[in-house]
Chain A
Amino acid sequence: MTGDSSGVIEDIIETAHAVRRPSVIDAENLTKRFGSLTAVQDLTLHVDEGEVFGFLGPNGAGKTTTVRMLCCLISKTGGKAKIGDYEVGNSADSQKIRRIVGLLPENVGLYDDLSAYKNLDFYGRLYKCTEEQRRERIEYFLKMLGLWDKRNLSAGTFSKGMKQRLAIARALIHDPKVLFLDEPTASLDPEASKTVRDFILELKKEKRTIFLNTHHLDEAEKICDRVGILKTKLLAVGTPEKLRELLWGSKTVVQLEHVNDAIVAAVKRIGPRNIEIIDNKLVIDVSNPERENPDIVAAISAVGGRVQFVNEVSPTLEDVYLKLVRS
């Protein structure tokens, strides 16, 4: 791991590459420009079969543009990408890719005048599902999502959460190899968000490959096997735990009766480390808390310091995300 932030990020990406398995989504230096604006630059990532991959980034980071490129909705400006065996950008493969991916766009875009059943049936027909497949899958997903009793009601009468669930069913109607979910819980109330999240977790159990664009870092942490953080360029990719470990490290917080220079000097003598003083607390960077914490406490006691509490700071994915995005 190198000292400057860009070096750290590269190391994380390299680490992720080193352990990767055969993947369903492969992107190499994928780039999209709109005139002079670069929306996505040199995106390289791989998503394995059966993996839930979270794509995090601020508004305008290029998440939706990436999904649209991968679903062959818009062209790429540079680089290459594959979904399964098909190449993104190859006109002969575009239709094949659209056949094996399911997309839940940011705006659900249901037909409000059609019933829930007819909305799904229409898409089933476009994906060339047989009548029997359509009937079975519509019943399966609507029951799974708690919408079966409302199948004959117009989608326009549905709440936001119900519409979102129906749109997820629509994205799954042809049993896609890869499911792209663009902000599936955005603008939903907590209960509706939980229902959608639980459903995604059900899909995860079925070993579906899911590419999840989200703003909700806790959602990414709960659902995703790996996450990528994008801000036009891919800043980092890895498991939430790996990112936390590599980007944040461990911190020990020592609550004292009083802090003085002798105590700080004593802690520094144990080894070079970053120490932050907040009121009567020392926030100390440690690499191995189990080994170093007793030494720290002993050093403080040796110079007359009185330790009240010792805690470990566990960074959240949000801390990692903010650190990366702000850097």
Chain B
Amino acid sequence: MDLQNVWTVATKDFSIFTKKKSIMYSFILFPLLVSIGLPLVIHFVNVQSGGIPTAALVLLLNAFAFFFVIFAATLPVAIASYSLVGEKVEKSLEPLLATPVTDGEILLGKSLAAFLPSLVATYGGCAIFMAFIDNLTFSQLGYLYFPNWTMGVILLAVTPLVCLLSVEVNVIISARVNDVRTAQQFGGILFLPFVAIYVAGEIGLISLETNNLLIISAVLLFVDAILFFVSRSTFRREEILTKWK
């Protein structure tokens, strides 16, 4: 595999994304809203209730941290749908496939183009979130709550795996749909299981602590591996030119 080709494909997609206002808004506004909005909720509840009990505060912060997993499932959809369905709609895949670049290099380049900005936006939003939360809760807790092991597992294991899952699902969806919005709608469904986990955490059905997050990561790794082979078999030159409708 020629990594230079992979990077050329990825940077070309980056250049295109910077021209798409909807994508830029998603990648700037969405992280900002979440990273500032969630600490504001804590602040508002603190002010209204005269202070959240420490045990409840810790549960709430762990649940909020999981918000960034949902985030990681959602963000790549915006890019991956443009990256693959967009090229399909603009019929620009055929000339690209006519170059000496391999299918794997194109797929990896496009995956990176969706994966890296999503991860950067998630990490950026998370950094702001952690800074605000620490600032708000230090006086009550007496220590900096973030970063901690839970957030470490979320950022270093769960989030990248979820991003990858989202990209792979979009590759598979791209073979079946013909417009970017439909791809985004189908891709958006991916965040539902993670919302379900979040809600389960909020109502106390499961605890979103380090051990459980590691189990979730293991499951994601398994699903990612399976979907890698499915998406790889979907993204073949002949398949794209003759069967992608």
Taking beta carbons and an 8 Å cutoff, which residues of A are in contact with B? 34, 68, 71, 73-75, 95-96, 98-99, 101, 103-105, 107-114, 118, 122-123, 125-128, 154, 167, 170-171
Q: Give the CA-CA distance A96 to B238 in the complex, in Å.
A: 18
Pairwise interchain contact A109-B95, C-beta atoms closer than 8 A? yes
Q: Which of B12, B90, B242 contacts A109 (CB 8 A)?
A: B90
Q: Give the CA-CA distance A111 to B90 in the complex, in Å.
A: 8
Q: Mark B1-36, 1 if CB is under 8 A from A, else 0.
A: 000010011001001100110000000000000000
Given pairs A103-B95, A108-B95, 13 additional interface contacts (CB within 8 A) = A73-B98, A73-B241, A75-B238, A95-B100, A104-B95, A109-B92, A109-B95, A113-B15, A114-B15, A125-B8, A126-B5, A126-B99, A170-B95
Min CB gap A213→B, angstroms: 14
Complex contacts, A103 vs chain B, CB 8 Å = 94-95, 98
Pairwise interchain contact B98-A112, C-beta atoms closer than 8 A? no
Check A109/B93 contact, CB under 8 A, given A103-B98, A123-B99: yes
B76-95 contacts to A, CB under 8 A, are: 87, 90-95
Q: Give the CA-CA distance A53 to B16 in the complex, in Å.
A: 37
Min CB gap A279→B, angstroms: 51
Complex contacts, A71 vs chain B, CB 8 Å = 98
Complex contacts, A98 vs chain B, CB 8 Å = 98-100
Q: Give the CA-CA distance A114 to B12 in the complex, in Å.
A: 9
Pairwise interchain contact B100-A99, C-beta atoms closer than 8 A? yes
Complex contacts, A101 vs chain B, CB 8 Å = 98
**What are 19 A-B contacts defined by CB distance under 8 Å?**
A68-B241, A73-B241, A103-B94, A103-B98, A105-B91, A105-B94, A105-B95, A109-B87, A109-B93, A110-B90, A112-B90, A114-B12, A114-B16, A118-B15, A125-B8, A126-B5, A126-B100, A127-B100, A128-B100
Q: Give the CA-CA distance A160 to B172 in the complex, in Å.
A: 32
Please indicate which of the listed interface residues B91, B92, B94, B95 has the most CB atoms of chain A within 10 Å of its own CB. B95
Min CB gap A88→B, angstroms: 13
Min CB gap B66→A, angstroms: 35
Min CB gap B233→A, angstroms: 15
**B101 contacts the other chain (CB 8 A):** yes
**B43 contacts the other chain (CB 8 A):** no
Pairwise interchain contact B238-A126, C-beta atoms closer than 8 A? no
Q: Which of A68, A99, A109, A122 contacts B8 (CB 8 A)?
A: A122
Min CB gap B79→A, angstroms: 13
Taking beta carbons and an 8 Å cutoff, which residues of B are in contact with A? 5, 8-9, 12, 15-16, 19-20, 87, 90-102, 237-238, 241-242
Pair count A-B, CB < 8 A? 76
Min CB gap B3→A, angstroms: 13
Min CB gap B54→A, angstroms: 51
Name which residue of chain A comes closest to B95, CB basis.
Answer: A109
Q: Give the CA-CA distance A111 to B14 in the complex, in Å.
A: 12
Q: Which of A107, A123, A170 contacts B91 (CB 8 A)?
A: A107
Check A113/B16 contact, CB under 8 A, given A73-B241, A122-B8, A167-B95: yes
Question: Which 8 A/B pairs are nearest by Cβ-Cβ distance?
Answer: A107-B91, A109-B92, A103-B98, A113-B19, A109-B91, A126-B99, A105-B94, A98-B100
Complex contacts, B9 vs chain A, CB 8 Å = 126
Complex contacts, B242 vs chain A, CB 8 Å = 34, 74
Pairwise interchain contact A73-B101, C-beta atoms closer than 8 A? no
Q: Give the CA-CA distance A109 to B86 in the complex, in Å.
A: 11
Min CB gap B206→A, angstroms: 43
Pairwise interchain contact A126-B101, C-beta atoms closer than 8 A? yes
Pairwise interchain contact A110-B92, C-beta atoms closer than 8 A? yes
Complex contacts, A123 vs chain B, CB 8 Å = 95, 99
Complex contacts, B93 vs chain A, CB 8 Å = 109
Min CB gap B46→A, angstroms: 45
Q: Give the CA-CA distance A45 to B102 in the complex, in Å.
A: 28
Please indicate which of the listed interface residues B97, B99, B101, B102 has the most CB atoms of chain A within 10 Å of its own CB. B99
Q: Give the CA-CA distance A99 to B94 in the complex, in Å.
A: 15
Check A105/B20 contact, CB under 8 A, given A74-B237, A126-B8: no
Please indicate which of the listed interface residues B19, B87, B97 has the most CB atoms of chain A within 10 Å of its own CB. B97
Min CB gap B155→A, angstroms: 31
Min CB gap B117→A, angstroms: 16
Min CB gap B192→A, angstroms: 31
Min CB gap A122→B, angstroms: 5
Name which residue of chain A comes closest to B238, CB basis.
Answer: A74
Q: Give the CA-CA distance A268 to B92 in the complex, in Å.
A: 61
